[in-house]
Structure 1
Amino acid sequence: MKVLVTGAAGSIGRVVTPGLAERGHTVVGLDRVPQPDGEDGAWYTVDCTDPDAVAAVFDEESLDAVVHLAGHPDEASLPDSLSSHVVTTAALLDAVHEHGVTRFVYASSNHAVGRTPRTDLLTVATRPRPDTFYGVGKVAAEALLSLYADRYGLDAVACRIGSFLERPETLRQLATWLSHGDCVRMVEAALTAPAPGFTVLYGISANTRAWWDLEPGRALGFEPQDDAEAYADSVAPDAPEDVEVDCVGGPFTSTAYERPALDRSS
């Protein structure tokens, strides 16, 4: 499968790109920054908010699928968040439709449901409860995927990624951790599952303390193999504040992230 990976120079992209290549896929990298030193393969230095530049990549490459990882990974103003997560997704979806590409894997986030109180195991059926404008951008991008799946028959998988790290560092992350290896397994499952339509899954490892339901991912063939519990002894039990465990979004639900939707000149 020939796969375009956006955000290929980012923290997730630099794991997923070689991981997919090792599994026999041909990977085309795309990012706003030049290709990192030491990496091979086709590369496009493109801003995904530019639909003409995105379309030109699709004109050049005969693609089978897109893995959309690009986007600002933290809080910003509402317009900036919508541009980073929704406009980029729209530009790619238009190119996907115009060029007959039928599979789209999107790096959504647990922050799409971050305001959900942490009580029972959270399923994908829960309503969106974003904790930030970042989370709002992810919810809106998921809605856009759903629209294109319904309109054009696109197979689109939104992966609500938890805490993507080499190892968990806080109490919350013992529940939300996604290992590097499991991230690659998740993306490949989302790329290769037969006819998923529009589907949401939670992107976490097989954590003993997991808050989120792994069954939607398993239905697509995602079988995580790692468990944050292996690192539990190295995580101080009193390290995080209460906000880390009260809601699934953790610190993103704190007042530190509250800001006006629109930046105004003084």
Structure 2
Amino acid sequence: MGKLLVLTGASGTLGRFLAPALAAQGYRLRLSDIVAFPDPLPEGASFHPADLADAGAVADLLAGCDAVLHFGGISVEKPWAQIVGPNLLGVTHIFEAARTPLPGHRMPRVIFASSNHTIGFYERGTVLSTDDPYRTDGYYGLSKAYGELLGRMMFDKHGVENVHLRIGSALPAPTEARHLATWLSLADLLRLVIAALEAAQTGHAIVWGVSANQGRWWQGDDAARIGYVPQDDAARFAPLPERGDALTRQYQGGSFAAQDNSRAG
């Protein structure tokens, strides 16, 4: 019998891709979101609505699972008050539930959909590793940095294995010049998730969620530890047009760095 996975954010764009793709690989799925799953449920899947800000609902959701794919929460830049519940409380409740499994069950591995917006204020062309300091480009990116730091603490203090996927631009195909560096094909996303699920041991790991793009800005991560080998390259779509204003074009985070930017000069 396949592993039982919890997938939060199942009704979002990436959740709707991952649910049938993982089911086809033989995993059993417990899907969750605050809105109904809009597609037919894949074989072996069930749907459980839950608010990530509700600690009890999250604990019930994770009961008895082997791993949780935490893709839930606000996925765009929003004011702080809108980020706190779904993103900050949400990831905290996920880890708290993971570290207190049901009797007789192992702690589930947490796979967290982090983001390139943890480092979005680095200028384009700057080559980064996951050891470089955070430079978040907004409250959304800040919430993802918090999730990564929480995962570090939860492994060091409680032994919760976790893998943080710093997702770039997960799309069927790249559409603008920035994506020549940041694109993560959906096929590589699936490879990345399965690698994170099936690695013998992960400890606390951070992996760039990016394809094997010739123009990528990101290297030096834990991909080898979990066995992630991307296969796609955005270069085959080049050239692609630039998008957005001067700030959008300056920073790796693109429009997130430009949004609500009031700094002069």
TM-score, L = length of structure 1? 0.90
In the alignment, which residue of structure 2 is the partner of 1:64? 66
In the alignment, which residue of structure 2 is the partner of 1:248? 252
In the alignment, which residue of structure 2 is the partner of 1:91? 93
Query: Which of 128, 142, 151 does residue 122 from structure 1 map onto?
Result: 128
Q: Which amino acid aligns with 1:146?
A: R
Query: Which of 43, 48, 58 does residue 52 from structure 2 map onto?
Result: 48
Structure 2 distance, partners of 1:155, 1:145, is: 8
Structure 2 distance, partners of 1:63, 1:252, is: 34
Runs of 4+ in structure 1 over 6 Å off: none
C-alpha displacement at 1:194, in angstroms? 2.1
Query: Which of 103, 106, 117 does residue 112 from structure 2 map onto?
Result: 106
Structure 2 distance, partners of 1:179, 1:214, is: 20
Deviation string 1:62-119 (CA, Å, 9 cap, x unpaired) is: 2100000001111112232232212101111111111142311000000001112234
In the alignment, which residue of structure 1 is the partner of 2:77? 75
C-alpha displacement at 1:143, in angstroms? 1.2
C-alpha displacement at 1:214, in angstroms? 6.2
8 Å Cα contact 2:202/2:225 also seen in 1: no
Structure 2 distance, partners of 1:181, 1:46, is: 28
8 Å Cα contact 1:171/1:240 also seen in 2: no
What are the ranges of 5 or more consecutive residues in structure 2 without an aligned counterpart? none
**Identity score, percent:** 32
Matched, 1:209 2:209: no
What are the ranges of 5 or more consecutive residues in structure 1 without an aligned counterpart? 260-266
TM-score, L = length of structure 2? 0.90
Structure 2 distance, partners of 1:231, 1:42, is: 37
The Cα RMSD (Å) is 1.7
**SS of match in other structure, 1:138:** helix
Structure 1 distance, partners of 2:243, 2:119, is: 24
Structure 2 distance, partners of 1:214, 1:258, is: 30
Structure 2 distance, partners of 1:247, 1:239, is: 12
8 Å Cα contact 1:86/1:141 also seen in 2: yes
Query: Which of 177, 202, 211 does residue 171 from structure 1 map onto?
Result: 177
Give the 3 Å change call, closer, same or farther, for CA 214–12 of structure 1 in structure 2: farther
In the alignment, which residue of structure 1 is the partner of 2:261? 258
C-alpha displacement at 1:239, in angstroms? 4.3
8 Å Cα contact 1:3/1:63 also seen in 2: yes
8 Å Cα contact 1:171/1:244 also seen in 2: no
**SS of match in other structure, 1:76:** coil
8 Å Cα contact 1:205/1:225 also seen in 2: yes
8 Å Cα contact 1:2/1:26 also seen in 2: yes
